[in-house]
C-alpha cells in the first residue's frame, strides 16, 4: 500500500466580503463576496495533494448545504474522507469575514463548533488509520482532549501546527510526544518561555523545545526564512526570492512541504529549502492555495 498522510483537523467554509469603499457601520456596503474552502487542516491536506501525497482526512462533516460542497471539493482533490465523521444536524464550520477596501479584515465570526465532535472516542475508532499513516498532521483547532489523546496513543510521527499563540498552549502537555513542531517566532517564544530577540535567543528557544523530547522544530521567521533544529543539527535558511501577493497560505504550504520532505527522506537543509519553496509558491498566488504548487515546481524553486 502506498504511504499516506493522515490529517486531523477542521474544514471551514470561508465567506469573505470586501467593501468597495470605506465601511459604513449598520448599513449595506457595496462590494464583492467570495466563498472558498478553508481550515488549517484542510489547507495542509490540499497542499499535500498538490505535492503528490495520498491523504486521508479525519474531520467532522456537517449535515447542511455546505457539507455537500465540502465533499465534492475533497473528491475533486483526491482527499479521502471515507473515515470522516458525519454529524446529523451539524452545521458546517464557517468563517465569515468583512474586509475594508484595502483588504484589511475589519470584523470576523468563526463558527467552528463542529470541530468539537473530533473527540478522543472518534479518534480511538480511527486508530488503525492513524497508526498506519507515514505521518499525521494536526492543528490546534482541535480540542485539548483530542490533542492529548493523539499524543498518548498515536504511534505515527506527529507534525503539529500551533495555529496561534493562544491555541499553541494546547500543545504544551504533549510537546515531548510530537515529531515536528512548526511555530512562528511568537508561538516559539510562548511555548519555550524564551523571548526571541536575536540569533542566540532563537537557538535557545529551539533548544528548550527540543528538551521536552520533541524531535524536530522548524521556527518560521516570516520574510527572514526558517530556523530548524533537528536532534543535534541546526540551520537557518533565508527565504527564496518571492513576489508576495497573498501571505495567508504560506504557513500551511510550509507544513505540507516539511511532511513531503520527511516522506522523501530529505536531510535538514534540503527539507528546509523545499518547505520554504512551497511557502514561496503559495504566497505568489491570489488565493490561500496556489494551484501552481507541485512537487517539481517546489524542487526547482529549492534547486533540489
| φ/ψ of residue 252, rounded to 5 | -65, -40
Q: Write down the pTM of the prediction.
A: 0.94
In whole angstroms, what is the distance from residue 304 CA to residue 297 CA?
10
Using CA atoms, how far apart are residues 91 and 198, in angstroms rounded to an integer? 45
Q: Is the pLDDT of residue 103 over 80?
A: no
What domains sit in the chain, N to C, each tagged with a CATH number?
5-10+39-90+115-301 (3.40.1190.20)
Tens of pLDDT, residues 130-146 = 999 999 999 999 999 99
Average pLDDT over residues 96-113: 87
> What does the pLDDT average to over 201-211?
97
Most confident of 1-5, 110-114, 290-294: 290-294
Question: According to the model, what pLDDT value does residue 72 have?
Answer: 95
CB atoms under 10 Å from CB of 272, counted, come to: 25
**Can you give the pLDDT at residue 73?**
95
Q: How many CB atoms lie within 10 A of CB 263?
A: 17
The string of DSSP letters for the chain reads: ----EEEES--EEEEEEEESSS--TTS---EEEEEEEE-HHHHHHHHHHHTT--EEEE-EE-SSHHHHHHHHHHHHHTEE-TTPEE-TTPPPPEEEEEE-TTS-EEEEEEE-GGGGG--HHHHHHTHHHHHTSSEEEEETTS-HHHHHHHHHH--SPEEEE--SHHHHGGGGGGGGG-SEE--BHHHHHHHH-----SHHHHHHHHHHHHTTT--EEEEE-GGG-EEEEETTEEEEEPPPP---S-GGGHHHHHHHHHHHHHHTT--HHHHHHHHHHHHHHHHTSSSSS-TT--HHHHHHHTT-
Query: Is residue 26's pLDDT more than 90?
Result: yes
* pLDDT score at 231: 87
Amino acid at each position: 500500500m502506498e504511504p499516506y498522510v493522515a490529517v486531523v483537523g477542521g474544514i471551514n467554509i470561508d465567506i469573505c466580503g470586501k467593501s468597495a469603499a470605506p465601511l459604513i457601520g449598520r448599513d449595506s456596503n457595496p462590494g464583492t463576496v467570495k466563498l472558498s474552502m478553508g481550515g488549517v487542516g484542510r489547507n495542509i491536506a490540499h497542499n499535500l495533494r498538490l505535492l503528490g501525497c495520498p491523504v486521508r482526512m479525519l474531520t467532522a462533516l456537517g449535515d447542511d448545504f455546505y457539507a455537500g460542497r465540502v465533499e465534492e471539493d475533497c473528491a475533486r482533490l483526491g482527499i479521502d474522507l471515507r473515515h470522516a465523521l458525519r454529524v446529523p444536524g451539524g452545521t458546517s464550520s464557517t468563517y465569515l469575514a468583512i474586509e475594508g477596501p484595502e483588504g484589511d479584515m475589519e470584523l470576523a465570526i468563526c463558527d467552528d463548533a463542529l470541530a468539537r465532535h473530533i473527540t478522543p472516542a472518534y479518534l480511538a475508532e480511527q486508530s488503525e488509520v492513524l497508526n498506519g499513516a507515514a505521518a499525521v498532521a494536526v492543528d490546534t483547532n482541535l480540542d485539548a482532549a483530542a490533542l492529548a489523546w493523539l499524543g498518548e496513543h498515536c504511534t505515527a510521527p506527529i507534525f503539529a501546527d500551533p495555529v496561534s499563540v493562544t491555541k499553541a498552549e494546547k500543545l504544551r502537555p504533549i510537546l515531548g510526544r510530537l515529531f515536528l513542531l512548526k511555530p512562528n517566532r511568537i508561538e516559539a517564544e510562548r511555548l519555550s518561555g524564551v523571548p526571541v530577540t536575536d540569533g542566540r535567543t532563537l537557538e535557545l528557544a529551539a533548544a528548550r523545545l527540543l528538551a521536552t523530547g520533541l524531535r524536530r522544530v522548524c521556527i518560521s521567521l516570516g520574510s527572514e526564512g526558517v530556523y530548524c533544529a533537528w536532534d543535534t543539527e541546526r540551520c537557518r535558511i533565508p527565504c527564496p526570492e518571492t513576489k508576495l501577493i497573498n501571505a495567508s497560505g504560506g504557513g500551511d504550504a510550509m507544513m505540507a512541504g516539511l511532511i513531503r520532505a520527511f516522506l522523501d527522506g530529505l536531510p535538514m537543509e534540503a527539507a528546509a529549502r523545499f518547505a520554504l519553496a512551497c511557502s514561496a509558491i503559495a504566497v505568489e498566488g491570489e488565493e490561500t492555495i496556489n494551484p501552481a504548487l507541485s512537487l517539481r515546481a517546489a524542487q526547482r524553486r529549492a534547486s533540489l
